[in-house]
């Protein structure tokens, strides 16, 4: 293996205690007294899709600011003040939720309110491509601001403000897509169209009353019963790469404890033993008390229950990752609604760094030093590579 080029990027991410990791931990855990997040959007109008994302994110932050952005390129259907009033009315009993109107760049608004996180919801693959591009741009404008993603519940994937406005303009019934506060005031702006009284199903009551029942439940459960924000970052980590380190380090300010779960996969044999992968993780984060590591079998949600985690962290590189990860997140939510999956997109320089590709390069005797933390790279000796090559030859025979 070649001795890696000691570029600044390499030093930032690959030393035993990565410099960038030290900076992020110190900055977010010591200088920042609160986890403040901005949820930006036009909210024209506020829909049940917005409410879903907001309510499911509440346990993550100390303060959530709903930012109603002015768009100079298009006129809204509803005045800024009306949209602000809707948000304040819906969340008037929740002290941790605030709302404001802002102009200009979203990262500038973050600086003004002291937010280090931006929250975004994703419904479809097309959303992901667009949102990832915006997240990358915001990160380049202000590296201290991290964008996290939640996927919409399946029943809200079709609920978009754009579609609601189109239905409204054509006199259609949108009551099933809107909170009661919004629905009650629509006739003032949209004229004498037919607005049916909504069907009071359990789903509707959970999300649309003035103080949604599901919101009350989530707030009570996560803020009172849970003393810590505990997250599981599951994966095979075969081997641990700089892509993994990037996602882990950027998530540290979100949680009180991050557990790196090395999952056993009964369908395929790993290149590196479980104990070796566990040792790598523990060595890399040996000076960080909030990071733990373990090996687990079975369902990821079962592991979450055992360790008391209410969040699962996943990294996304490409559109194909999003489709796969969303399906898993939906399944995990159906198995345990108390466990929420959040997503971070990889930094552009790590989009090609995947354990599968690293293993393929290793099997063919290639140099993977630029993709690995120093701890992992140091243990990939010539004898290790020789064993990998002989194993490959046996498999070929």
| Residue 52: CATH number of its domain | 3.40.50.620
pLDDT(41) > 80:
yes
Q: How many CB atoms lie within 10 A of CB 337?
A: 14
Report the distance separating Cα 275 and Cα 373, nearest Å. 17
Report the distance separating Cα 134 and Cα 136, nearest Å. 5
Instruction: Please tell me which residue in 25, 57, 161, 251 is annotated as part of the active site.
Output: 161
Q: What pLDDT was estimated at residue 255?
A: 95
Is residue 155 assigned to a domain?
Answer: yes
Is 148 in the same domain as 18? no
Q: Which percentage of the chain shows pLDDT scores above 70? A: 77
Annotation says 282 is catalytic: no
Closest CA to 348 of 116, 143, 54: 143
Is 77 in the same domain as 14? no
Q: What pLDDT was estimated at residue 152?
A: 92
* Two structure tokens written together for 59: 């346990």
Instruction: Please tell me which residue in 83, 120, 123, 183 is annotated as part of the active site.
Output: 123
Is 107 in the same domain as 231? no
Q: What pLDDT was estimated at residue 71?
A: 82
Is 45 in the same domain as 73? yes
Is 321 in the same domain as 207? no
Is 91 in the same domain as 145? yes
Chosen domain end from 171, 200, 223 = 223
- As a whole number, mean pLDDT of residues 191-212 equals 49
Is 123 in the same domain as 179? yes
Is residue 302 assigned to a domain?
Answer: yes
- As a whole number, mean pLDDT of residues 257-267 equals 92
Is residue 389 assigned to a domain?
Answer: yes
Q: For 12-21, 85-94, 179-188, 253-262, which range has the lowest pLDDT when averaged over its residues?
A: 12-21
Is residue 188 assigned to a domain?
Answer: yes
Q: What pLDDT was estimated at residue 352?
A: 86
- Any idea what the Cα angle at residue 246 is, between residues 355 and 55, rounded to 5°? 110
Chosen domain end from 189, 223, 257 = 223
Closest CA to 253 of 20, 41, 53, 11: 20
Is 107 in the same domain as 163? yes
Annotation says 50 is catalytic: yes
Q: Is-above-0.85 flag for pTM?
A: no
pLDDT(10) > 80:
no
Is residue 185 assigned to a domain?
Answer: yes
- As a whole number, mean pLDDT of residues 89-114 equals 96
Q: The domain containing residue 41 runs over which residues?
A: 32-223
Annotation says 74 is catalytic: yes
- As a whole number, mean pLDDT of residues 124-136 equals 90
Closest CA to 36 of 83, 100, 84: 100
Q: Please, are residues 245 and 344 in contact by the beta-carbon 8 Å criterion?
A: no
Chosen domain end from 195, 223, 251 = 223
Is 142 in the same domain as 250? no
Is 307 in the same domain as 280? yes
Q: Please, are residues 241 and 354 in contact by the beta-carbon 8 Å criterion?
A: yes
Instruction: Please tell me which residue in 74, 196, 382, 394 is annotated as part of the active site.
Output: 74
Our count of domains for the chain comes to: 2
pLDDT(46) > 70:
yes
Is 306 in the same domain as 210? no
Annotation says 123 is catalytic: yes
Is residue 2 assigned to a domain?
Answer: no
Closest CA to 185 of 87, 39, 99: 87
Task: Please give the mean pLDDT across all residues of the chain.
Answer: 84
Is 74 in the same domain as 206? yes
């Amino acid at each position: 293996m070649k001795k890696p080029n000691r570029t600044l990027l390499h030093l930032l991410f690959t030393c035993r205690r990565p410099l960038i990791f030290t900076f992020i931990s110190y900055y977010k855990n010591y200088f920042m007294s609160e986890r403040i997040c901005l949820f930006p959007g036009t909210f024209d109008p506020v829909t049940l899709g917005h409410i879903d994302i907001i309510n499911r994110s509440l346990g993550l932050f100390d303060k959530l600011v709903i930012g109603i952005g002015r768009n100079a390129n298009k006129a809204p259907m509803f005045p800024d003040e009306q949209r602000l009033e809707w948000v304040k009315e819906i969340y008037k009993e929740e002290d941790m939720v605030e709302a404001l109107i802002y102009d200009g760049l979203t990262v500038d608004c973050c600086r003004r309110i002291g937010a280090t996180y931006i929250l975004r919801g994703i419904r479809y693959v097309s959303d992901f491509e667009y949102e990832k591009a915006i997240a990358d741009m915001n990160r380049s404008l202000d590296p201290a601001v991290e964008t996290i993603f939640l996927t919409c519940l399946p029943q809200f994937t079709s609920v978009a403000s754009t579609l609601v406005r189109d239905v409204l303009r054509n006199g259609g019934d949108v009551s099933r897509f809107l909170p009661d506060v919004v629905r009650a005031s629509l006739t003032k702006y949209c004229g004498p169209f037919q607005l049916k009284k909504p069907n009071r199903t359990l789903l509707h009551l959970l999300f649309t009353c003035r103080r949604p029942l599901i919101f009350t439940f989530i707030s009570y459960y996560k803020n009172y019963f849970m003393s810590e924000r505990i997250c599981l970052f599951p994966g095979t980590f075969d081997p641990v790469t700089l892509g993994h380190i990037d996602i882990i380090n950027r998530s540290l300010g979100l949680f009180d404890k991050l557990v790196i779960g090395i999952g056993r996969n009964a369908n395929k044999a790993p290149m590196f033993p479980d104990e070796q992968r566990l040792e790598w993780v523990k060595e890399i984060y040996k000076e960080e008390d909030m990071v733990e590591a373990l090996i687990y079998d079975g369902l990821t949600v079962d592991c979450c229950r055992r360790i008391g985690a209410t969040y699962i962290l996943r990294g996304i590189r490409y559109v194909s990752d999003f489709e796969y990860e969303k399906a898993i997140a939906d399944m995990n939510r159906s198995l345990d609604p108390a466990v929420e999956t959040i997503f971070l997109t990889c930094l552009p320089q790590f989009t090609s760094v995947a354990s599968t590709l690293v293993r393929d390069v290793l099997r063919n005797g290639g140099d993977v030093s630029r993709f690995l933390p120093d701890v992992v790279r140091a243990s990939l000796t010539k004898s290790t590579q020789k064993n990998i090559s002989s194993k490959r030859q046996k498999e070929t025979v």
